[in-house]
Amino acid sequence: MAQRTVLFVLFDAVQSLDVTGPLEVFMGAEQHAPGTYRIRTASLDGAPVRTSSGLTLVPDRALGDPLDAHTLVVPGGQGTRSPDPALVGWLREHGPRAERLVSVCTGAILLAAAGLLDGRRATTHWAYCDKLARDHPDVEVDPDPIYVRDGHVATSAGVTSGIDLALALVEEDLGREVALGIARHLVVFLRRPGNQAQFSAQLAAQTAQREPLRDVQRWITEHPDADLTVESLATRASLSPRHFARAFQTETGMTPGRYVDRVRLEHARRLLEDTSDGIEEISRASGYGTPEAMRRAFVKALGAAPAEYRRRFRPAPAR
């Protein structure tokens, strides 16, 4: 593979981890296979920038014309809330020339402001997905995955998911073994599948205000293999099924069925990642009943069957 320049765009109030996380991945690949990547950082005028945490980053140079990068990485941070019009203008002019256009976290807001996500599917930090969809209706915003690939454009969710996306790009360029070596060095999993949810069922749903409903939430989490029909859960909450379903959705922002589906999927994922239990045993323990039912749930939610998920995500045994 010919050497590829990876250019990181810097600006004031950038999130430092959005820059350094993916940068370490690409630099690790370059150290593993010298001559693979040329890593560069640039701000509009070449001046140092101050990150949202107060760290000062000194860029290699100013953003230039023409774009001399294969992969253009646009990080996020507080500086995306009121973006510099000059930066948005530079991205609008030069972004389309990149062979691979990448955003981390709310960097997607900058790409969208430059019109580079119009007609594309994209994601960003879960807390800003609604804003991205509201401000840019031509963008198909998917709030669930940790990263999304749409043609040559790739967008990732919050902060550390930029590492997952960078590992996926390195794996695409150099193969699984190189990406695995970098992941081990950084003490992270090789990579989470891009369509893995950004957060757990417990974080995705609000905690119910009323104690009986909170008890039901805890029961679901602790007993994914139990009878979790609306009727059964309503009995546990001492409510009619209709009243329970309505109250649960009002207080948690999620229907009982969707909450149960997420908890079961999360439970099965953990067992696949952390144990050597068989697929049939995991399907029963997670409430699916049969391996085929669990396979359908995984393919629908994650785009991968349980065995493939385990292969991708379970850490390699220590040597």
Q: pLDDT, tens digit, for every residue of 67-115? A: 789 999 999 999 999 999 999 999 999 999 999 999 999 999 999 999 9
Strands 4-9 and 37-43: parallel
The active-site residue, picked from 39, 105, 108, 263, is 105
Residue 129 known to be catalytic: no
* Residue 231 region by backbone torsions, left for phi larger than 0, else alpha for psi between -120 and 50, else beta: alpha
Tokens of 186: 């950084």
Q: Model pTM?
A: 0.67
CA distance 148 to 122: 6
- β strands within the chain, DSSP E: 4-9, 37-43, 49-50, 56-57, 61-62, 71-74, 100-103, 121-122, 140-141, 147-150, 153-156
Residue from 133, 173, 134 nearest 155 by CA: 133
pLDDT level of residue 211 (50, 70, 90 thresholds): confident
Structural domains for the chain: 4-186 (3.40.50.880), 201-313 (1.10.10.60)
Tokens of 245: 């379903």
Q: pLDDT, tens digit, for every residue of 232-277? A: 999 999 999 999 999 999 988 889 999 999 999 989 988 998 889 9
Strands 140-141 and 61-62: unpaired
Q: pLDDT, tens digit, for every residue of 4-30? A: 999 999 999 999 999 999 999 999 999
The residue type found at 179 is: A
Cβ atoms of residues 261 and 144 within 8 Å: no
